[in-house]
Structure formats: structure tokens, C-alpha cells
Amino acid sequence: MAHNVGFHMSSQVSKNYKVLHLGDQAFVGYNLVKLLQKNGIKADYLAYKNSQMHYNEDGCFFFKANSSERFNKIKIIRESLSHFEGYDIIHAHSVFSVPLLLSKNRPYALHLHGSDIRVYARKNDLLGFGLRKLVNKAKKIFVSTPDLLMDVSSFGKNATFLPNPVDFERFYPKKPEIDLQEGFDFIIFHPTRHSLNKGNQIFIKSFSEIISQGYNAKLVMVEWGDLLHESKNLVHKLNISKNVEWIKSIPPYEMADYYNASDLVFDQFHLKGLGLVSFEAMACGKLTITKYSPEYLKQGYSINPPLSIIDEEVKLTQEVISFLDDARHRKKMGSACLNWVKEEHSSSKILSILKQSYDEIQG
């Protein structure tokens, strides 16, 4: 099957400027830089190194300090400030925007991704004070999910929803190179990190109920997150260990195989917006089970995603069982998810928002 080319377009750049994406969150900055570069906009990238990236790519620069190094925050600030020269716009992601407090009169866009505006900006500490000042002085504010628009407005500022870029060259429906079945009838993939704002334990309890009703299913999860220990204890307590596979980590280039080898994908059951897991899974034509608010999503999307609205644990179990029982409906919904994400997260839409916003910043 031919797949959609991810970031190429034939647009012309309206103004000649050079942009630096400072820091990153869930590879959003990296993918935005690749999109800009492929469409004639001079864009560079400065962030921590990550295994997803090729370190010799044009325009990709990496902090010398690592995230666990002592005094790394001071080093990151110094490295960032020394890198600003020659750029017309700094597109700063989340808390990596802090060095801009020490760079006077430099035009910047602030890109907020979640906890930065929901939690950190509301704290009475240095980081909270700094983020509030950055929000106040930013020429442009982007948010990665529509539900964050209200969070920004609570600080008296307006924001623009910028859909997260999806690499359709990597994530698309295909025959997987791995087999997760191992004697099970159904595979449910839950790669989301284990933390308070993901609701992992709700999914685990629901999966346990599904097993108790006689379904021969396997839940595949990744070992990462602050609440990993609690999730493992719950699996043991519910006596479903034989139906759960834990994976240490998944190389980024193999993620699409895991989505395509699964029947359903669990994302999160706490937040009001959609996450990266949902977008990647939908790009692979897989039905995603997640909690979201249609009321918040309609602020950013022309149409809401074709996902079930699930707001309680009992309904979650019922929905999953209904999809496991009907492979034809499951496939139909997966195709609808694919069409939605290709439309709402298209390169043309994202590039148009960026170009207009950068033009506004440049005046």
C-alpha cells in the first residue's frame, strides 16, 4: 500500500526569515523543523539528543549538557543564549523558553504543551514566575491541544491551536514486521507513560474485567513513568500477569509496527485532549480508546474525531468489548480515524498556521 508523504508541500514562503526551535516536547519541535525545512523556510533545532534523530541532519543542534547532569539547567541557559544570534524568531517549547527571559527584545513564539501552563505557570516559585512573564510578553502563543486555549486565556492572553505534526511517512497502515499474538485472540497496545495524568490504572482494571468475561486478550505496555511500580502491582493484584506483556522500550522506528500489530490502542483516561499516541495510532488506521472532551476539541478542529466519548470506567469496558466482538466495525472506525487525522493534522494546515504566525511576529 502506498502511504501518504508526510511533510512535503509546494508552498512559497511569504517572508525571508530564520527560525530556531528551542527545546522540544514529544518530538513536536523536531517534526515542525523538518516540515519547515522541506517547504523552504530556514529553520534549525536545538534540544536534548534523542535516539529518534539523526545527529548529522542539517539544522539539528544538541545541548552538550544532558538532562541528568548536575547544574544542567544553568548550562542549558548558557548554551541557548549563545545560540540565539542570527535568528529572526525563536520558537520556544515549554520550559525551554526560560533563557528568553535573559535575552531582551528578541521576538519569540511560546509553544505550550500541557503541564507547563496547567501546573508550572501557576506555582509561586521561580519557574512559575518566569513562565508567567514569558506568557505575558510572547508575541505569539501556540498550544498543542485545544483544551489549553482556556488555560492560556486565564492569564489574560490569546493563543493559537497548532495541531501536532504527524509523520505520515512513518505512521501508516501496513503489514507489521512483528507478531504480538502468541496464542492470544486480541492485542491491546498501551504505550503511554504511567503517571497520574494518564489514568493507566483505569485501563488496567477495565482490561482485567474483560479477561474475567472470558476474552483471550493480551495487554502490551511499556515500562516507563513515575507510577510504573503502582501499575505493575495492580496487574499482580488483579492476577492478570499472564495476559500482560511488559516491554522495556520501543525504538521509535518500530512504533508503527506495534500499532499495526494491535487490534486496539489505549491512550489516556484523564485529560481533555488527544495525545501523540492517539494521533500515531489513528495514522496507522487503528481505533484508539481515550478520554477527551468534544466541547474543548471543537475549539481547534473543524470536526471532532470519530472516537467514542467515554467518561466512566464501566462504559470503557463496555466499549472495548463491543469493538472486540465486531472486527468489521473496528476496522471501519479505524479507517475513519485515519481519514480524520490526515485531514486535521495535515502538513498544509500546520504550515499555513506557522507561516501566518511568523509573519505576524515579524510585523
Q: Using 50, 70 and 90 to split pLDDT, how confident is the model at 16?
A: confident
pLDDT in tens, 125-170: 999 999 999 999 999 999 999 989 999 999 999 999 999 999 999 9
Which CATH entry fits the domain spanning 186-344: 3.40.50.2000, 1.20.120.80, 2.40.50.100, 3.30.470.20?
3.40.50.2000
- What is the reported pTM? 0.88
What is the domain partition of the chain in residue ranges?
Answer: 18-164+346-362, 186-344
CA distance 273 to 21: 24
DSSP H stretches of helix in 103-237: 115-118, 126-137, 148-153, 200-212, 228-237
Q: Which of these CATH numbers, 3.40.50.2000, 3.30.56.10, 3.40.1550.10, 3.40.50.970, describes 18-164+346-362?
A: 3.40.50.2000
The C-alpha cell that represents 209 in the structure block? 474485567
Note the pLDDT of residue 65: 78
Give 114-120 contacts, CB < 8 A, sequence gap 24+: 114/144, 114/145, 114/148, 114/271, 115/197, 117/143, 117/148, 117/151, 117/152, 117/155, 118/148, 118/151, 120/95
Beta-carbon count within 10 A of 279 CB: 25
Q: What is the mean pLDDT of residues 254-270?
A: 94
Q: What are the tens digits of pLDDT across the range 178-228?
A: 999 999 999 999 999 999 888 899 999 999 999 999 999 999 999 999 999
With both helix axes pointing from N to C terminus, report the angle between 28-38 and 347-362 in degrees, rounded to the nearest 10.
90
What separation, in Å, do the N-terminal and C-terminal C-alpha atoms of the chain show? 44
Are the CB atoms for 43 and 28 separated by under 8 Å?
A: no
- pLDDT at position 4 is 41
Is the pLDDT reported for residue 5 higher than 50?
no
Q: Taking residues 297-324, what's their average pLDDT?
A: 89
List the grid coordinates of 102.
535573559
CA neighbours within 13 Å on the CB side: how many for 285?
15
Domains 18-164+346-362 and 186-344 belong to one CATH topology:
yes
